[in-house]
A and B are shown apart, each in its own frame.
Chain A
């Protein structure tokens, strides 16, 4: 007898709650094949979970080869699940990023009983026995449903379990494949001598078991008398001696991979750390160098911009040079541009000059027309150069900050560069020149009554750029 489950009950919730399994007694001999049928919700899967050490029963006992599994500490119970019981569920449960052989070998690798070489060798053998010798390196996503189910079976057997629990392992397969899988399980059982407790809807298959049980509303009932298994000796799990088969193909690669992840973990981690440290030093050095270069570039750029600003705002000077009266409200306005360091030319996009007269608290634009050189597009300024404009200030009403005088603003916008064909930044400079301008129609005597000057009232009054 490999499994003895007696008086099992599973109750969920409080009072009244639900009894998923009311009463179940299941005895399975070594190498015996029992099947359990029943309607959905009858408690079949819960029974299997209690037998397999997955769900603790509310009452009852489960002995596996004489060991009371629910009295074991969790760690040992986990060992029992991994080493002595194989599971085949109704869902695939393969790890999608591992190859077939890795999936099969994994339960053996998780323990410390076998070497990776042994685990992969057995996995290789199992996959061959389930007919997947040419699909060992395939990933689950590359396999059919039947193939995946074969891999699951192989995985369930990797640790040579005493008991294989199958919960609807073929429910989603077509009839032909289901038959193949069932036959495979049965053949393996015979070869490996493990017991099977199989939950299935398929009565035809269930009837091919040694004994059949039926779960009805939480109560497990025998459907047929079991065969005599007295002749079949109980096979207890024994420690597996390390084996060193010649690694071949995918299983050998997997074994080597596991060596790197396992036994050589700290050495590998050390190497990784050293490599990372080296990379960090190299990266830091490179970063420092790049930062230095960036700083150099920034400093150079700042110096260039500062020099450009100096050139455009200090070296280049500009203001109203003179204003003469032409009559009829027209004035000739001369603006100078002066390069105070004549050794280096300054290139200026010719001034865009506008004229305004204060009216109220605003500035009213008055026509300002460039003449002669002031119309040029680009000016090469090497000394003091003059531009002339015609300003037409024919306003009848304007604000007199200084009695009788117009308050005038000339706005001059320039783009400045030290190069005739600029390859770097340009400096945009906007000047405002303010003057008081004497209108045509006011005579000096009238002005002199309200404003005193040391001489005749000037035509225009320059306001210092202060």
Chain B
């Protein structure tokens, strides 16, 4: 480490730097604002000294009246965004809200704690098609485990106050909600109906006949038949994924990186109740959600839970737009296990990172309802993924160690023939962060939009990729803190990207044009959203919604 005493002051930024008014204890005095400003002739930017915005209006703006500023000129008029209904969960707020993009008005919202959930964390959601969403539609919204409140640095007392009930205070509820044109109504808690409580990605089948919910804390993925109105949801099938590392007793990270076997098990209902036994904390391998970069906690033994070493990170399940195939991402290995929905059996496994021994790994059936997938080596974790809207390719992010994306040709009906055709890596993806995150595609599939996650306090970016050449054609820098999922308006005009601010920092929706890739601006969005969908009006639009990508 070297030091450089040219900096004009030896005093520490305490008064100006600490928004809570805290005092330094490290005995180095305080920064004099005057001295700092003298040093930085043009001032300090950042959290304290925001500069007044300026406009290039020439000499005579004062005489002629101020013209519209660039920000005003570029501000989106909501009516121009199209005749769409915009659905977003409120994450730690514990609910969901629906906005009319034509007017900007919030049409209705729901808060799950009003229904007796003592700690709902509204996580991911997906909406079923509705011919006229303004008159009504239904959606499913998963909630995370309540202990996830404990990992954001919030000085909470929910544990002391007894709000972490294993069943009603630990999340893993799956709420089916109906909007009736006036208000939102809680129609069903699918977890209560079926006995399967999961808390991460909710993804609807391309024919809208059902949906999947996955959960990387339990390593369970469930396939549900769709119910409507007062009907009750039923389970098509559910699978659990467990890891048996080749070297489970050595250095903890070797438990995964030295290879091993993924066992896939079909879950069974309890004979006495007719329900599955995976509600609340039941089945949790981890006490906390494995957030982005949470893999490091697993590698270092800092992640509490009953069965950390068996962790696979079965975080999401997306669906091929044409073939009846669904792919379950196992984050710890950056592989995708493909399940044939006609047989409800895993049939193939593809590996996304560069350097793995096999790109398409065999799935071996051990017994009825039990399959093994042997991974000789593991080189990186993964996270999100998605099928292109035409079903020709599939991409998956490789995170932590590679920060790239594997690109597969998935046009074949038999996923055992899917091949990794290339790897996409943006020039900024160096080191552990920034890293690729959520994925969506333009309506014609010619572009892939990838949210690029930066560590706090940096703002995330969006990378636009040409899917013909698999090269970056545009980057939107500094979009917002903790950028999440994106969604394209179904007329193909705009892309909306929601950012949640790590639950407590800035949040909003950033908009840019799909074709010309010009930034349009921001619209307000309140609640630290973690997901977003534009309610589809038919199955064709559903393909571009929370169906093929996460």
Contacts and interface: CB of A to CB of B under 8 A. Distances in A.
A317 B19 CA distance: 21
12 contacts: A358-B155, A362-B155, A365-B23, A377-B5, A378-B4, A401-B150, A409-B153, A430-B457, A454-B301, A458-B300, A465-B293, A465-B502
A379 B44 contact: no
Contacts, number: 260
Interface stretch (A55-63, A230-238, A419-427): A419-427
B42 A399 contact: no
B18 A309 contact: no
A310 B455 CA distance: 12
Given A361-B157, A411-B22, A413-B13, A380 B4 contact: yes
B3 A380 contact: yes
B48 A386 contact: no
B293 A466 contact: yes
A420 B4 CA distance: 7
Given A365-B22, A402-B304, A417 B40 contact: yes
B26 A368 contact: yes
A463 interface: yes
B4 A290 contact: no
Contact of A385 (B1, B12, B455): B1
B292 A466 contact: yes
Interface of B: 1-14, 16-20, 22-28, 31, 36, 39-49, 54-60, 150-153, 155-157, 159-160, 252, 255, 287, 291-294, 296-297, 300-306, 308-309, 430-431, 433-434, 454-459, 477-478, 482, 502
B478 A367 contact: no
Contacts of B58: 287-288, 290-291, 294
Contact of B17 (A305, A428, A464): A428
A413 B46 contact: no
Contacts of B159: 400-401
Interface residues of A, number: 90
A430 B478 contact: no
A25 B14 CA distance: 98
B65 to A, nearest CB: 14
Main SS class of interface, B: loop
Nearest to B60: A287
Given A425-B40, A462-B297, A317 B13 contact: no
A42 interface: no
A421 B7 CA distance: 6
B39 A340 contact: no
Interface of A: 283, 286-288, 290-295, 297-298, 305-306, 308-310, 312-314, 317, 319, 340, 347, 349-350, 352-354, 358, 360-363, 365, 367-370, 373-380, 382, 385-386, 389, 399-402, 407, 409, 411, 413-415, 417, 420-432, 434, 451-456, 458, 460-466
A293 B39 CA distance: 27
B254 to A, nearest CB: 12
Main SS class of interface, A: mixed
Given A349-B31, A453-B304, A461-B302, A422 B49 contact: no
A461 B157 CA distance: 19
A407 B155 contact: yes
Given A465-B293, A465-B456, A377 B433 contact: no
A369 B48 CA distance: 25
Given A425-B42, A463-B151, 18 more contacts: A298-B56, A306-B478, A313-B454, A349-B12, A360-B157, A361-B156, A368-B25, A376-B1, A378-B3, A409-B153, A413-B12, A414-B13, A425-B40, A428-B48, A431-B457, A460-B302, A464-B293, A466-B152
Contacts of B153: 409, 432, 434, 463
B457 to A, nearest CB: 5
A462 B293 CA distance: 11
A163 B16 CA distance: 86
Contacts of B26: 352-353, 368-370, 374-375, 389
A22 B25 CA distance: 101
Nearest to A372: B1
B155 A428 contact: no
A408 B440 CA distance: 38
Contacts of A361: 155-157
Contacts of A294: 54-58
Contacts of B304: 402, 451-453, 461
A422 B502 contact: no
Contact of B41 (A376, A400, A423): A423
B33 to A, nearest CB: 11
A378 B25 contact: no
Contacts of B42: 423-425
Contacts of B14: 352, 413
Contacts of B20: 411
Contacts of A353: 26
Given A401-B156, A402-B150, A434-B153, A464 B60 contact: no
B478 A428 contact: no
A287 B292 CA distance: 51
A278 to B, nearest CB: 16
B192 to A, nearest CB: 27
B36 A411 contact: no
A387 to B, nearest CB: 8
A313 B458 contact: yes
A462 B459 CA distance: 21
B454 to A, nearest CB: 5
